[in-house]
Chain A
Amino acid sequence: MSTVKLTVNGKAVSVDVEDRTLLVHLLRENLNLTGTHVGCDTSQCGACVVHIDGRAVKSCTVLAGQAAGSNVTTIEGIAKGDELHPMQAAFRDNHGLQCGYCTPGMIMSAIDIVHRYGGELDETTVRHELEGNICRCTGYHNIVKAVLDAAGRMKVAQAAE
């Protein structure tokens, strides 16, 4: 057992876990942040994507100890109170989900994509950048639409700040 100290969604936390604990399990089982999902558990599907120090990573492939001292952001940490993050709002408005299982990972990856590309996003880029996130309901059409929509909203929001 080790004590892992990290910041999750802006809050300092200290958790006693076995050294073999994966970050996704620390989040879900110790902190009850069950918005981050385990899909494939083999680093393929992206349902477990969270941000570590601002970078999208697959939390099923990170040991809890590796995240010690880092800032972790999960799907629960992106809205401002009742106001959805622009990416969440765009997924809702564009019907960018069906069952919703992949959605938290999609949204966390998508925010990372917009941060890296700024407003310079096109459909081809979004599809390529979402390679590590798998949706098994239907396809990616509305997901891509939502990301492009949100990229515009986030640019406007950033300009307003």
Chain B
Amino acid sequence: MYETIYHRASSVDEAAALFAKGEEPKYLAGGHTLIPVMKQRLASPSDVIDLGKIKELIGVDATADALTIKAATPHCDVAQNSAAQKAIPAIAYLASLIGDPAVRHRGTIGGSLANNDPAADYPAAVLALGATIKTNKRTIAADDFFQGLFSTALEDGEIITAVSFPIPAKAGYAKFPHPASRFALTGVFVAKTKDGDVRVAATGASQSGVTRVGPIEAALKANWSAAALDSVQIPSAGLLSDIHGSADYRANLIKVMAQRAVTAAG
């Protein structure tokens, strides 16, 4: 790891001010992407600004309309949170599948979304549920937030403060994890909104990162059941193809994971 200067911010405003002063600064949340990347010397920030201990960024809150997860809340605290389990059980379940227990003790939802790894879990939930990403400057709709591999609508220095998920009528998540890394070889989040709309998002599958899956949305809108997807064909064009799985394999995984997610959603 190259040399860097570590700062621990005690508020969002202090973090933003430290960022503005840094030469090539980076925010640090749980650090479970940034620190490995720094160790590989693929990132060499002049300053790392730790957001992990900022109290206003930690916590889970549920109302009748929305589940709000503050950005520096670790995955384990979402998975075990009774309000989250009750409001959107699929979110608590998704959080329980990320990495391994030690990773879930450190990794955060804000870090996951800001990084936008094409195989991360949370982006699928955010996109399928049409969540709102709140930052220290504005709110961003999920449809506008994800902009391809490791790319988001966040401006330089902008800090995610919370993510607000509208409570759906039904939601489910199913993931085929890579057996070593636990990242999604393909993961699919299905959601039926309270006004009857259906949104489905897949992670780990597409060359352009998390993406909606039109054919599955259309089939589920007509008939919300796993069987309704039996005859759906997912085109493999634009899907990832690597040593872990071909594009055709992932196309099939999208369908199978969607069926399992619908079954889980009930």
- CB of B32 within 8 A of CB of A43, answer yes
Task: Tell yes or no: B248 within 8 A of A by CB.
Answer: no
What 0/1 pattern do residues 20 to 53 of B give for CB contact below 8 A with A? 0000000010011001101100000000101010
Interface segment among B99-107, B193-201, B217-225: the answer is: B99-107
- How many residues in A have their beta carbons less than 8 Å from beta carbons of B? 29
Per-residue CB proximity of A13-29 to B under 8 Å, as 1/0? 00000111010000000
A132-B102 CB under 8 A given contacts A43-B36, A66-B50: yes
Min CB gap B81→A, angstroms: 14
Contact B105 A57 (CB under 8 A): yes
Q: Is A129 an interface residue (CB 8 A)?
A: yes
Q: Could you tell me the distance between the alpha carbons of A99 and B142 in the complex, rounded to whole angstroms?
A: 49
A149 in the interface (beta carbon within 8 A) = no
What per-residue 1/0 map shows which CB atoms of A36-80 lie under 8 Å from chain B? 000001111010010010011110011101101000000000000
CA distance A56 to B5 in the complex (A): 26
B1 lies within 8 A of chain A by Cβ: yes
Contact A19-B4, Cβ < 8 Å, known A66-B52, A132-B100? yes
Q: Contacts A56-B105, A131-B100; is A61 near B32 (CB within 8 Å)?
A: yes
Q: How far is the CA of A112 from the CA of B104 in the complex (A)?
A: 13
- What's the count of A-B pairs with C-beta under 8 Å? 77
A88, CB-defined interface residue at 8 Å:
no
What sequence of 0s and 1s flags, for each residue 98-121 of chain B, a beta carbon within 8 Å of any chain A beta carbon? Answer: 011111011000000000000000
Cα–Cα distance between A61 and B1 once the two chains are bound (Å): 12
Contact of B3 among A19, A63, A65, A109 (CB under 8 A): A19
Contacting pair B99 A132 (CB below 8 A): yes
CA distance A113 to B101 in the complex (A): 9
In the complex, the answer to whether B8 meets A68 with C-beta atoms within 8 Å is yes
Q: On chain B, which size bracket covers the interface?
A: 20 to 34
For residue A2, which residues in chain B have a CB less than 8 angstroms away from its CB? 6
In contact, A42 and B4 (Cβ under 8 angstroms): no
Q: Which residue of B lies closest to A105 (CB)?
A: B102
Shortest Cβ distance from A87 into chain B, in angstroms?
15
Do B103 and A65 have beta carbons less than 8 Å apart?
Answer: no
A70 → chain B closest CB, angstroms: 10
A42: B residues at CB distance < 8 A = 36, 39
Least distance between A3 CB and chain B CB atoms (Å)? 12
B2, A20: Cβ atoms closer than 8 Å: yes
Partner pick for A66 among B5, B31, B39, CB 8 A cutoff: B31
Residues of chain B whose beta carbon lies under 8 Å from any beta carbon of chain A: 1-6, 8, 28, 31-32, 35-36, 38-39, 48, 50, 52, 76, 99-103, 105-106, 180-182
7 closest residue pairs by CB, A with B: A132-B100, A65-B6, A19-B6, A55-B105, A131-B100, A20-B1, A58-B102
Q: What are 10 A-to-B residue pairs whose CB atoms are below 8 Å?
A: A20-B1, A20-B3, A49-B102, A57-B105, A57-B106, A61-B32, A62-B35, A63-B35, A113-B101, A132-B101
